[in-house]
Structure 1
Amino acid sequence: MSSLSSSPERQLMHRRAIAVQVYSRADGLFEVEAELQDSKTRDIPLAGGIRRAGEPVHDMGLWLVVDRHLDILAATSSTRWMPYPGQCDQHGDAYRQLVGLNLMTGFRAAVKQRLAGVKGCTHLTELCQHLPTAVIQAFAGVVLDVREGAEDGTPPFQIDRCHALRSDGAVVQTHYPRWYRGAAVTPPAAGNGNLS
């Protein structure tokens, strides 16, 4: 990946890797595994001793079971590497509080309310923010109809959920013409000098 202005003298200091995998199960449910790992390119002193370059500073995960409606049926977390052993991993299993939430309806606000600050782990709580869109990607074309839309006449799930897939845009006009709503009309700006 290139940046806007990369300097030849730049050196990598820190790497955060986030991975989310979604698995289908024989019972019709889905398992979500999300992991976050931070590492440094230099040795650093931590409460538990020196953490060598490349070893994780943080290595933690969330595991969920969700249904086809994106309801969370089970949740747990794990902290394998941490800067403060015996403390970072002592939040009980606060992330069981995700059970009962829906990934599409108020999920991010509910996570913040239930787990922000000292109620949970900052990194696990941030990791939660990636879950809705990752699960949507897994469900696209399998659970969610992304081609024709629902039989009740509602458009495909993704229409009007991002800039490229807006109902008045070129992508929808080309690939989803049934759902194209025409270009939005922008009223002329006041004082544009056109008096006709």
Structure 2
Amino acid sequence: MPLPESTYPRENIHTRQITCNGFKRPDGLWDVDAQITDIKTYPLENSYRGTIEPGEPIHEMWIRLTVDTNLLVHDCIAVTDHSPYGCCGEITPIFNKLIGKQIAPGWTRLVKSLVAGIQGCTHLADLVGPATTTIYQTMAGIAKGKTENETSKPFYIDGCHAWSSDGEQVLTYHPEYYTGKKSTPE
């Protein structure tokens, strides 16, 4: 169900669009390509680019994360196609700092400490979050705990409320990892 209609008249000023695509590679690794685009509905004067026309991206940036089934980052590529300042694209190599890191509890904090703020790019750092959740969605049902010959704990258990180790989904689909109270027949 979409959001209800607003009870107030509104004028669209800004659109941010994030698109993520997940890929399985033949070498056993997984890629997610994530893109962020910011567009205004009015002309914007910019000291670096001149007039940015309505519908023309102010920001258009990309991240590619490459991981294995243990969620270890093998590669991270960042690209800035459009930005409001000439120096924005210069910072993209810093995202190599994510190579060799594992997506695990504390990942968001780690990303912020390595590639956000003045040493990085806020927009690209924020894009890592949707890319990460897309990795989970891409691998779910295919890798780690869902194939017949895989016996390790599925990566998504305890990753969200629905997959809490003491919840109904884990009890139903992965009872060997269930940590809640099992009901006993009366």
TM-score range, shorter chain: 0.7 to 0.9
Higher CA-based Rg: 1
Q: How much does 1:52 deviate? A: 0.9
Q: Which residue in the other structure is 1:158 paired with?
A: 156
Contact 1:149 1:157 survives alignment (8 Å): no
Contact 2:145 2:151 survives alignment (8 Å): no
Q: Which residue in the other structure is 1:21 paired with?
A: 21
Report the 3-state secondary structure (helix = DSSP H, G, I; strand = E; otherwise coil) of the residue aligned with 2:71. Answer: coil
* 1:166 to 1:147, Cα distance in 2 relative to 1, 3 A: farther
State the alpha-carbon separation in 1 of the partners of residues 66 and 171 from structure 2: 36
Report the 3-state secondary structure (helix = DSSP H, G, I; strand = E; otherwise coil) of the residue aligned with 1:94. Answer: helix
State the alpha-carbon separation in 2 of the partners of residues 159 and 95 from structure 1: 28
Q: How much does 1:159 deviate? A: 3.5
**Larger helix fraction of residues:** 2
Q: Which residue in the other structure is 1:97 paired with?
A: 97
* 1:103 to 1:131, Cα distance in 2 relative to 1, 3 A: farther
**What is the aligned-residue identity percentage?**
34
Structure 1 residues 124-174: Cα deviation after superposition (integer angstroms, max 9, x where no partner): 01111223221011111111225899636x5x4434332233344455555
**Mapping 1:73-92, distance limit 5 Å:** 73-84=74-85, 86-91=86-91
State the alpha-carbon separation in 1 of the partners of residues 173 and 69 from structure 2: 26
Structure 1: gaps spanning 5 or more residues = 184-196
Report the 3-state secondary structure (helix = DSSP H, G, I; strand = E; otherwise coil) of the residue aligned with 1:83. Answer: coil
Structure 1 residues 85-126: Cα deviation after superposition (integer angstroms, max 9, x where no partner): x21112151111111111225322221111121111110011
Report the 3-state secondary structure (helix = DSSP H, G, I; strand = E; otherwise coil) of the residue aligned with 1:9. Answer: coil
Q: Which of the pair has the greater relative contact order for Cα pairs under 8 Å at 6+ separation? A: 2
Structure 2: gaps spanning 5 or more residues = none
Contact 1:147 1:176 survives alignment (8 Å): no
**Mapping 1:12-91, distance limit 5 Å:** 12-47=12-47, 48-84=49-85, 86-91=86-91
Q: How much does 1:179 deviate? A: 5.5
* 1:179 to 1:107, Cα distance in 2 relative to 1, 3 A: closer
Paired residues in the alignment total: 181
Tell me the TM-score normalized by structure 1: 0.78
Q: How much does 1:11 deviate? A: 1.8
Report the 3-state secondary structure (helix = DSSP H, G, I; strand = E; otherwise coil) of the residue aligned with 2:84. Answer: coil
Give the residue type in structure 1 aligned to 2:70: H
State the alpha-carbon separation in 2 of the partners of residues 177 and 97 from structure 1: 38
